[in-house]
Structure formats: structure tokens, C-alpha cells
Chains A and B, each alone.
Chain A
């Protein structure tokens, strides 16, 4: 029965309340700056550029007073899988440059400079992104995140797109995760008390497994729909009319530090693009 409990504690973004410049920064700054870095990481393809990014990101993590080890710990269960995948990538890589600089070949297996680079770069990239997502979610509360998102999406309103509604959807989702987690717990216990098999069967009976999952998921959806309707009614009763003319309890102001941080991330982003595509660093 122990497996039933703990769902309600499932949370996105474990906010870690520390006091650092990164924690104090405006959520808009963090979203924009870290978003730029994510794009830079996705674009970086060579050793030197990735190394540069890794150093910058590790410096940021240290600055936020987060622990590198704790962030890496969160992906520990996946290490065997990552290693197996990397090994496959190393020997089966078949890009356009796979035939140049072959170090070792045996039948269809081949290790070349290109495949080695792909493996090293994707491992570095993975570390970068683990740090970046941790950096955002561990230093920003959920409400600050939705605020930042809403403010960043505000230009969409001018285009007639529902920027406010988008961030409202996000806020509702974050609020309801623990509530639905609790509902899920109740459903699992209810089905178990009716004699449903709660533990999954062997993996060969996957049709029964799908049906077992369905017996838990269907009531969850029905519950969610009921709650959505109730909340729609409650919002209507409180005269909710979308984003127009709505004000906030807490207002964030962009400070000089925020502009400096944004400028720095833009500079880094530009530097990555330059060194990757114009200077052609190795």
C-alpha cells in the first residue's frame, strides 16, 4: 500500500529558498536569459563552443548557490541508459562525415572523429540542459514563473492572441497538480478496495496493463472535467473576463542588474553564434 501514498507531493520545480542574485532576479529576466542559453546549447555543435557554454553555465549555478552534485544526482537512475545510448551512437553513427578519420572499424561498427564528436557534444549538451532547467526551477517560485510568463506573453495580446489566457492555463495547471494527485490516490485506493489489481501484471499482458491504467485514468479525467466546470462557474461568478484591466498583487520591476544580466546573456548568445558559424571554432 505504500505505493499509493506520496502522489500528492509530486511537484514540478522544487523551489529551493536560498538568497542569491539569481533567486532575486526578475522572473522575466530568468525566463528570457535562460531561454537564450537553451537555444545556444541546442545550436552549439563543436567541442570548444560547448566547453565555453558549460563553463558559463557552471559559473551561473555556483552563483545561484545551487549544488552541481545535487542537480546531477537527479538524473542518476538514467546513467546506464545514457551510457548504452552513447555507445550505440559511437559505433553506429552514419552522418555525412562518418567516413573521414576512422579510428577503428569492425564490420558495420565504426568509430570516427565525427561519431566521437557527436557523443561528447551530446553528453555536454545534456549536462548543460540539466543545469539550466535546475537553475530556472530551483530559483523561481511557481507564482513568479507564471507572472513572468504572462508578462512575456503580453505582446501577444496586442496581436489578438490570448497571452493572458495562456499564462492562466499554466497557473491553473500548477495549482491543480497536487489536488489531482490526491484525487489519483483516492481512485487507486477505491479501485483496489473493489478488488482491482493495482500492481501491474507482467509486461507480456500489455493489453490488460493498458486496461488497468485506463481504470485509473478514466475516473481521473472525469474528476478533472468536473473540477474544470466548477472552476469555470466560480470564475464567471467572480466576474472573470480575461486579462483586460487586471492588476497584480505583487509587481516586479526590472532593475539595472536585470538589464545587465539580459545584456550578458545576449552577449553570450551572440558570441556562441559568432564562434560557431562565423569564426568556425573547432
Chain B
């Protein structure tokens, strides 16, 4: 009898914890979505970069952070919100197409969440191998690109080699957890760039060559920004990482 009661109490407690987590997930997703909308509908979400378009977006970062901190479902939701917002706000025909503006954005939070779950507990050797594979993919990609436009492919290859070199160097200086965060953020940002541009090409809004160029001029600054900002935000929230343990901002 007593045993049963103890079991019942334990179950009740577990249920309370579960509902607490569910509520927290709802409120967190709501606030991340609010930040996304704020970033899309005001000019804070843009920062100047040296490209023809002049601005790169950071409005996809809440989706990445939601995916990393609260799991793929929250990432999906916030990404969906980003898609709808950029669809509603769109000022160029390309983003007034739901297949370009909304569908690719669903995957931002999901991929970064899955990548983070996969590499979170990884040790340095594993991360090194993963980085090497990623670099291999990027080089393959730039080879593909070089077959269309030679110089663009060369730039892309140099950039990805530089990026991988930086990540190696960083991995030896910083906590592994921080590097895992950075990788997840980079993957999330690349998901956005690659999927949006390929669906734009498939739907015939921009020619293939222009997509390579936009990928270079927008994708790269966005990847860098989302890496910097995601790592800063998540380490601030989780109190992890940074051997130096001091604010750098």
C-alpha cells in the first residue's frame, strides 16, 4: 500500500516536471519567435557588409538558438515564424513565394539542433574527423562551382579552407562544447543559405550563376555572424565554455 503511494507520488512529480518543461518550451519558443519578428520587422536584424546588397541578416539566429537549446521542435517552430515573417515582409518577388520564403526556413533550427545533439558529447579527435569531412564537402562543392565559374570556385575553396583552419585553431584553444556550438550554428546558417538559394533557382527566380555569387556574398557573412552571436548567446545563457571566463563584448 505504502509502496504504491510512493510510486504514485513519484509519478505525479515526474508529470509535474514534464508539464513544467512543456510550459517552459512554449514560453521560450514564443519569446524566440518574438525576437525573430522584431529582427525581421525592424532594421536591427541587418548589419552592413561589403557586398552589393550591403546587408546580411541575423534574423535566422533565434531559430538556431531555439534548436540548440530546446530541441528540433522549437527550432522548427521559430524557423517557420521566420519564414512567414520574411514572406509577409518581402520586398522582392523571390521571397513572395512561400516555397522560397517559408519551406527552406523550417529546416534551419532542425539541422542545427540535430548537429548539436550529434557533436555535443564528441571528443576532440571525433570533431577533427567531422571537420575534415565538412571541409571535404566544401571542397567538392567549390570544385562543382569551379566548373561553372572558375574564379568563384577558387574563392569558395580558399574561404572554406580558411574557415576550417580557423575552426581547427579554435578547437585547440577553446572548450570542445563551444566548438560544438559553433559547428551547429554554422550548419544552421548554411542550411538557410543553401536551401533558400537552391529553391530560388529551382523556381526560376535567379539564374544558377547568380545564386553562387549570392551564396558567397551573403552566406559567408551570415555564417560568421551566426557563429559569433550563437556562441556568445548560448555560453551566456548556459554559463559554459571560455577558459578565460570573461566578457569580451
Chain A residues engaging chain B, CB cutoff 8 angstroms: 7, 10-12, 38-39, 42, 75, 77-78, 81-82, 85-86, 88-89, 92-95, 118, 122-123, 125-126, 129-130, 133, 137, 165-166, 168-177, 179-181, 184, 200-204, 206-207, 209-218, 220-222, 224-225, 227-229, 231-232, 235-236, 240-242
Contacts and interface: CB of A to CB of B under 8 A. Distances in A.
Contacts of B118: none
Contacts, number: 201
A166 B221 CA distance: 32
Interface string B34-49: 1111100110100111
Interface residues of B, number: 63
Interface of B: 19-20, 22-24, 26-38, 41-42, 44, 47-51, 54, 56, 58, 61-62, 65, 77, 81, 85, 87-88, 90-94, 96-99, 204-210, 221, 224-225, 228-229, 232-233, 236-237, 249
B97 A125 contact: yes
Contacts of A232: 20, 23-24, 26-28
Contacts of A122: 93, 205
A166 B24 contact: no
A154 B249 CA distance: 45
Contacts of A229: 24, 27
A215 B47 CA distance: 13
Given A169-B77, A172-B30, A94 B207 contact: yes
B133 to A, nearest CB: 27
A178 B77 CA distance: 20
A158 to B, nearest CB: 18
Contacts of A174: 34, 37
Given A169-B77, A173-B81, A235-B27, 12 more contacts: A81-B91, A129-B87, A168-B26, A169-B29, A172-B33, A211-B249, A213-B47, A213-B58, A213-B229, A214-B229, A231-B27, A242-B19
